[in-house]
Amino acid sequence: MPFFTQLAHHFLPEVILAAGVLALILIGAWRGERANALVSESAVGVMGLALLAIVLSSHSDASVFDGAYVDDAFSRFVKVVTLVASMVTILLSTDFMRRAHLDKFEYPILILLATLGMLLLISADNLIALYLGLELMSLALYVVAAFARDDVRASEAGLKYFVLGALSSGMMLYGASLLYGFAGTISFTGIAAVVSGSAPIGVVFGLVFVLAGLAFKMSAAPFHMWTPDVYEGAPTPVSAFFASSAKVAAVAIMVRVTLTAFPAMTSQWRQIVVFLAIVSTLLGAFAAIGQTNIKRLMAYSSIGHMGFVLIGLAAASEEGVRGIAIYLVMYSAMTLGAFAAILTMRVDGKPVENISDLAGLSRSRSATAFFLAMLMFSLAGIPPLGGFFAKYYVLLPAVQAGLYPLAVIGVLASAVGAFYYLRIVKVMYFDEPAPVFDPSSRTVGGILALSTIFLLFFWVYPAPLMDAASAAAKSLF
Amino acid sequence: MAAVFFYLFSVVLIASAFVVITARNPVHSVLFLILAFCNGAGLFLLQGAEFLAMILIVVYVGAVAVLFLFVVMMLDVDFAELKQGFQKYLPAGAAVGAVVLFELAFVAVNWQSAPTAHEAAAVPILAQVTNTAALGEVLYTKYVIFSQVSALVLLTAMIGAIVLTLRHRPNVKRQNIEEQNSRTAKSVVELKKVPSRAGV
């Protein structure tokens, strides 16, 4: 296929984002401060265009640029989730960044660049593509984490994330070099062709290093140490971005590496994934109990949810990947909704972040309290909300694969986790009222309402999402 | 002969890398880092990778190490303070390092490549084509998309550095070329008639 045909037919979303970034930088550099709102809105528009390019594409699977990237149903599905989450992030940011005097035109551009890195990561089909996508995403994320550069906590968050991120990238690169040394090729399918069940120790080492690097990016325990500090320190919309888009992309590449590059070594990587899953779900459940800051609580909650995603991966089956695809959608909706609720927490113009600040919210802001309560029920996995189906569809394949202890631990961790989610509901509905929150912006309220409505009524008409998830899972096997 | 140089470069490389960590004076550390880079370049040359050797000298010695020197000399970093926890963390760090070293040695001893690896990683015959030409042939054809993505990574780094450090201070005197050029003697020179013996 000629180069430009490949670009136009299978690489269009990435091309749109890259061209959009370059155009918006020019506009920003030319118009300066006056361009902030324009660049922010255009960034959402550019992502919308990329979304359209995916939805309206011919949906034909292809491997492009000499096997560097792959365009399949799985990558298209995850890209749609990532793009929607990134768009919502920018919409959530506008009001917060303006009030915090952080409204610079570079912010939406960095979000766009990170999203571009995520798209490249999701469809990466060899080790160099994987690394470049990961670095493009991470580099932009380090900067947005420290975007509030005069705030000590934000700077600390950015620095911490940068140092640990560089370490994990180094480990992953080392693992990749071992894999290349063994296989003599960087392509995932090429590695899969030469790796067998009784692989030499060097390959196992390479696999462990690569998985450790990826587990860091998706903040699965025991590689989660940075998560609570970064979520707490970074500006709230940035934390929402970290918890949604960035994790979705990291999960996608984890799934692709394990399933397309190492199908013959399932029993070896399953041990690692099962270990990560058990530690993450338990840590997410127990460490969150003592938290008083709601952003830290969301960080531990996200670690627990990554554990559930890994339970689906441990099944190593088509149903497992379908479960992961559904989980990513539900998880993104819940996380973005919850962060939208956190963004409404503002007293006398200053953001507040303690769980106790939510006390008596049902009396002062009954709609927000109701939506947040529903989100908490969904995060806890109570039927018939979306979060329940997400957990159901990852636990079922694990049981079918014979991983009974893992599934039991998942259910138990979910029950423990329900405690701290329900505590927030209790604080909002039964405690003595705290100072009333300021009225929130219409966009933030709208996103909170929309995500809740999606999770509440998903069961009424689940067919489109289920079908898309099934098609996505099928393309990996 | 090549073996003699190999061991010479390797020994100096490891020794200077060791001094980089242990030297008390940070400027000495950077200078030994440069020595380490030069020996690394020598090792590359022995392998016939002259392009990598030159890149190592030009980029790492010429740009990165000089930048390090600037940072060390311009910024007031208290290195004694940075090294404070060194003694405390040494045992744990040494233990982890020893374990990793043992494991890596185990991997190296038991190393085994796939039977097809040599063929799959085929390189052009070095006697017929130079490194630079061979790299250029694939970098801008087969791997052009990667060079473009790397460019975006560098762009991100540039934007990030500017966003995090650039501050627009008010009342800074800047050169305004338009203003300078539009100055004329009429507008800036004032002639005063000073009567003699009277002062201004």
Give me A157's structure tokens: 């968050």
DSSP conformational letter for A126: B
pTM of the model: 0.91
B80 reaches A (C-beta below 8 A): no
Instruction: Identify whether the C-beta of residue A358 lies closer than 8 Å to the C-beta of residue A428.
Output: yes
A163 reaches B (C-beta below 8 A): no
Instruction: Identify whether the C-beta of residue A256 lies closer than 8 Å to the C-beta of residue A74.
Output: yes
CA distance B83 to A393: 51
Select the residue of A142, A146, A201 nearest B110 (Cβ to Cβ).
A201
Q: pLDDT of B114-152, one tens digit each?
A: 888 877 777 777 778 888 888 888 888 889 999 999 999
Element housing B182 (H / E): none
pLDDT at residue B18, as a whole number: 93
Q: End-to-end CA distance of chain B, in Å? A: 87
Arithmetic mean of pLDDT, A454-467: 93
Q: pLDDT of B3-17, one tens digit each?
A: 999 999 999 999 999
Arithmetic mean of pLDDT, A23-30: 94
CA distance B28 to B26: 5
Domain boundaries, chain A: 264-477
Instruction: Compute the mean pLDDT over every residue in chain A, rounded to the nearest whole number.
Output: 93
Select the residue of A66, A132, A185 nearest B149 (Cβ to Cβ).
A132
pLDDT at residue B21, as a whole number: 86
On the question of pLDDT at A278 being above 80, the answer is yes
Looking only at the bridges linking them, the beta strands covering A69-71 and A62-64 are antiparallel
Give the percent of chain B with pLDDT over 70.
98
A120 reaches B (C-beta below 8 A): yes
B156 reaches A (C-beta below 8 A): yes
On the question of pLDDT at A313 being above 90, the answer is yes
Amino acid at A393: Y
pLDDT at residue B179, as a whole number: 85
Q: How confident is the model at residue B113 (pLDDT cuts 50, 70, 90)?
A: confident
* B1-77 fold: Four Helix Bundle (Hemerythrin (Met), subunit A) (1.20.120)
pLDDT at residue B125, as a whole number: 74
pLDDT at residue B19, as a whole number: 94
pLDDT at residue A127, as a whole number: 95
For A103, nearest residue in chain B (alpha carbons): B163
DSSP string, B29-47: HHHHHHHHHHHHHHHHHHT
Element housing A351 (H / E): strand A350-351
On the question of pLDDT at A423 being above 80, the answer is yes
Q: Bridge partners of A187?
A: A126
CA distance A376 to A420: 9
| Torsion from C-alpha of A173, A75, A220, A265, nearest 10 degrees | -70
pLDDT at residue B148, as a whole number: 93
Q: Bridge partners of A86?
A: none
Measured between beta carbons, the chain A residues lying within 8 angstroms of B162 are 106
Domain boundaries, chain B: 1-77, 126-164
Contact A184 B113 (CB under 8 A): yes
Question: Chain A: nearest CA to B113, how far in angstroms?
Answer: 4
Instruction: Identify whether the C-beta of residue A1 lies closer than 8 Å to the C-beta of residue A67.
Output: no
CA distance A199 to A263: 12
Helix or strand or coil: residue B130? coil
CA A195 → CA A208, A286, A313, distances in Å?
Answer: 15, 38, 20
Instruction: Identify whether the C-beta of residue B18 lies closer than 8 Å to the C-beta of residue B34.
Output: no
pLDDT at residue B74, as a whole number: 81
Contact A140 B160 (CB under 8 A): yes
Question: Chain A: nearest CA to B112, how far in angstroms?
Answer: 7
Q: End-to-end CA distance of chain A, in Å? A: 24
The sign of the torsion formed by the CA atoms of A129, A240, A318, A259 equals: positive
Q: Is B84 exposed, middle or buried (0-12, 13-18, 19+ CB in 10 A)?
A: exposed
Give the percent of chain A with pLDDT over 70.
100
pLDDT at residue A322, as a whole number: 96
Select the residue of A3, A178, A194 nearest B116 (Cβ to Cβ).
A194
Question: Among all chains, which residue has been given the structure tokens 């939406």?
Answer: A108
Give me A293's structure tokens: 């800051």
pLDDT at residue B178, as a whole number: 87
Instruction: Identify whether the C-beta of residue A258 lies closer than 8 Å to the C-beta of residue A267.
Output: no
Q: Contacts from B97-105 at CB under 8 Å and sequence distance 24+?
A: B103/A205
Helix or strand or coil: residue A67? coil
Instruction: Compute the mean pLDDT over every residue in chain B, rounded to the nearest whole number.
Output: 87
Instruction: Identify whether the C-beta of residue A293 lies closer than 8 Å to the C-beta of residue A355.
Output: yes
B163 reaches A (C-beta below 8 A): yes
Q: Bridge partners of A70?
A: A63
Give the percent of chain A with pLDDT over 90.
81
Q: pLDDT of A132-191, one tens digit each?
A: 999 999 999 999 999 998 899 999 999 999 999 999 999 999 999 999 999 989 999 999
pLDDT at residue B52, as a whole number: 92
What are the residues whose beta carbons fall under 8 Å from the beta carbon of A10, sequence distance 6 or more? A57, A62, A64, A69, A71
B110 reaches A (C-beta below 8 A): yes
Q: pLDDT of B154-165, one tens digit each?
A: 999 999 999 998
**Predicted complex: ipTM over 0.95:** no
pLDDT at residue A131, as a whole number: 96
Instruction: Identify whether the C-beta of residue A67 lies closer than 8 Å to the C-beta of residue A187.
Output: yes
CA B51 → CA A165, B55, B145, B192, distances in Å?
Answer: 30, 6, 22, 69
Task: Provide Rg for chain B, Cα atoms.
Answer: 29
Arithmetic mean of pLDDT, A292-317: 95
On the question of pLDDT at B26 being above 90, the answer is no
Measured between beta carbons, the chain B residues lying within 8 angstroms of A147 are 163
On the question of pLDDT at B39 being above 80, the answer is yes
Question: Chain A: nearest CA to B195, how far in angstroms?
Answer: 54
Helix or strand or coil: residue A111? helix
